[in-house]
Amino acid sequence: MTDSILEVRDIHTFIGQFHILEGVSVSVPVGSITVLLGRNGAGKTTTLRSIMGLTPPARGQILFDGKNIAGKHPHAIAQLGIGYVPEHRAIFRELTVHENLRIAERKRGDLARKADFIFELFPDLKRLIDLPGGNLSGGQQQMLAVARALVPDNRLLLIDEPSEGLAPVIIEQLMAAISRLAESSSVLLVEQNFRVASRLAQQYVIIEEGQSPAAGKIDALVQDAALVQRYLGVA
């Protein structure tokens, strides 16, 4: 499809002998935010890891910009312009904020080109530039984790549970930044907070027991209390 930056089609992923994804399909329209919703253990992280090639699917297709990337190495997939922000703020605690950003470069000069944009989104990071990552608050570390994915030119960002464990005011800041960065690249987000997700995303995909039983426009989901209750267990 020409208007989707990403089309995951019926992927099956095994971890060891376990059949974790049993037919997941996800479409991410260009220039918008799509959220993966679902209970703990449903397969959301495995879906993102499958897209990145970290747990490559045994079956199914993953079309990025119309080309199948399933089976490529994670490094090659990243090179195509997909940024990944894993769960739990994977930053280097011993390196400074600046060093964390520098090593996220894909080619020389990436950071210099993107610095203004990144520091406009996350002014705290500019102030904290010479501090070790480990000295930052949880929210600041998450901002740094997202900022790292903005250093190279990425057309798609996969962001896994950025709000986990953060205070509401920090979540607001982070979501405002994600909303802004979606103006320049498409986003596939995992977000367990339904209220946050529904304000941020335009599309949703429900992940449930390794499958994707429902998907559509987020506005329609917000109206459908029965569907929300059934898959997410929230009223």
Ligand X SMILES: Nc1ncnc2c1ncn2[C@@H]1O[C@H](COP(=O)(O)OP(=O)(O)O)[C@@H](O)[C@H]1O
Residues 6+ away with beta carbon under 8 Å from 154: 81, 82, 83, 185
CB of 69 within 8 A of CB of 80? yes
By CB under 5 A, tell whether 141 contacts Mg ion: no
In the list ligand X, Mg ion, none, the entry touching 109 (Cβ below 5 to 8 angstroms by class) is none
Contact yes or no for 125/155 (Cβ under 8 A): no
Q: In the 8-state DSSP scheme, what is residue 135?
A: G
Based on CB atoms, which residue is closest to ligand X, 15 or 76? 15
Neighbours of 34 (CB within 10 A): 23
Interface with ligand X (CB under 6 A), residue from 6, 8, 20, 26: 20
Q: Which is nearer to Mg ion, 87 or 105 (CB)?
A: 87
CB closer to ligand X out of 27 and 50: 50
Nearer to Mg ion, 36 or 104 (CB): 36
Considering only 13, 27, 45, 141, the residue that binds Mg ion (CB under 5 A) is 45
Residue 85 contacts ligand X per CB under 6 A:
no
> Binding of ligand X at residue 41 (CB under 6 A)?
yes
Q: What b/e sequence results for 101-110 when a residue is b if at least 16 CB atoms lie within 10 Å of its CB, and e otherwise?
A: beebbeeeeb
Which residues contact Mg ion by CB under 5 A?
A: 44-45
